[in-house]
Amino acid sequence: MKYFLIFGVCILGITTTFAQQLSAKQLQETSRTQLQKGDYDNAVRTLERAKLQEPINIEVLKDLSFANYLKRDFARAIEVGKEMTELPDADPQCFQILGLSYKGIAAYKEGAKLYKAALKKFPGSGVIYNEYAELLALDKSMDEAIGLWEKGIELDPGYSSNYYNATMYYSRSKNWMRTILYGEIFLNLESFSTRTGDIKPVLFDAYKNILAPSVIGQFQNAKTTTTFEKAVLESLGKAASTVKSSASVEDITSIRTHFIVDWLQEKQARYPFRLFDHQQYLLSQGLFEAYNYWLFSASANEGSYKIWQNNHPKEMEGFKTFQESRVFKIPGAQYYFSR
């Protein structure tokens, strides 16, 4: 009996020693497996051990703060989050993670202070602009929120979440002009995410609304419409006059085809715009119709999309290959939405 007791103690000692010998990186990897399984308690314990070994390891602190956020221990998540955001190598993600916990307890004033400090350190971060705007939206400050989403689009045009939220905002406020532009840009930046399912029907609805009789003229005369938007509306109005209806994917594709031709001839030199370059390229490659079906058919008539695919396998395969092989990037200095 005594032998087995001693043996058990030895085994326990060996196990404890082995655990202590795991590096912070190994402990971090273990914690991520635990997080994937939803085992937040053990993930936090594992990360606390990693923190003891490397107390200023920024990646460990990120994981520990986020794990506590998932565990809904917001106090500890904020405590760790403050530690990491005060480190000299803190990046935008550190502020993003800490901000989640402030949102979690509706501490909007503290969150706003955090994001203001983050923007001083990272004035061009689309991530921070989006997070700050989402916090303001939660606090019912929508006018301030859309200003920050717009600023994020201007300064960091490749970050997709600002377009997503701006599209949703403009759809609710019935600004169909910005809805169609920002919505389509988002779908090209984030073509394969689950959020495309949110934006596609919004984009189709915005096109139906802006192409309704007299709506283009109303937007052209609005005081808030920029000169770039007026130029887009002018070409869109010309294109819409060539088609009697705008109810189907075929009608919208025809209008958009006429729009691109007119834009290329008259306005491209004055307003270089990546989205319209993209459309022109697809048109030149015979892929524009497939692209439009991808954008609109699920919202308009999914059955017609299947019929079109069956009748146009070459075009569909060509678009699919193109879409999977390219990365949609927006250059700077193409923001034309300042009043």
DSSP of 138-176, one letter per residue?
HTT-HHHHHHHHHHHHHH-TT-HHHHHHHHHHHHHTT-H
Q: What is the pLDDT of residues 14-65, one digit of tens each?
A: 444 444 578 999 999 999 999 999 999 999 999 999 999 999 999 999 999 9
Q: Is the dihedral of CA 211, 216, 222, 224 positive or negative?
A: positive
Question: Does residue 245 register a pLDDT over 80?
Answer: no
Tens-digit pLDDT profile for residues 118-163: 999 999 999 999 999 999 999 999 999 999 999 999 999 999 999 9
pTM above 0.85, yes or no: yes
- Is there a contact between 98 and 65 (Cβ–Cβ < 8 Å)? yes
Residue 6: its pLDDT value, please?
44
Question: In whole angstroms, what is the distance from residue 101 CA to residue 108 CA?
Answer: 10
| CA–CA separation, 226 and 219 (whole Å) | 10
> What percentage of the chain reaches a pLDDT higher than 90?
84
Q: Could you tell me which of 84, 129, 75 has the C-alpha nearest to residue 104?
A: 75
pLDDT (tens digit per residue) in 267-295: 999 999 999 999 999 999 999 999 999 99
- Summary mean pLDDT of the chain: 92
Give the pLDDT mean for 230-238: 97
- CA dihedral over 236, 199, 94, 60, signed as positive or negative: negative
Closest CA to 281 of 240, 326, 339: 326
339: pLDDT strictly greater than 70: no
Structure-block tokens of residue 124: 């061009």
List CB contacts of 42: < 8 A, sequence separation 6 or more: 31, 34
- Residue position matching structure tokens 């497996």: 33
| pLDDT in the model for residue 302 | 66
Task: State residue 278's pLDDT score.
Answer: 97
Q: What tokens does 192 get?
A: 């394969």
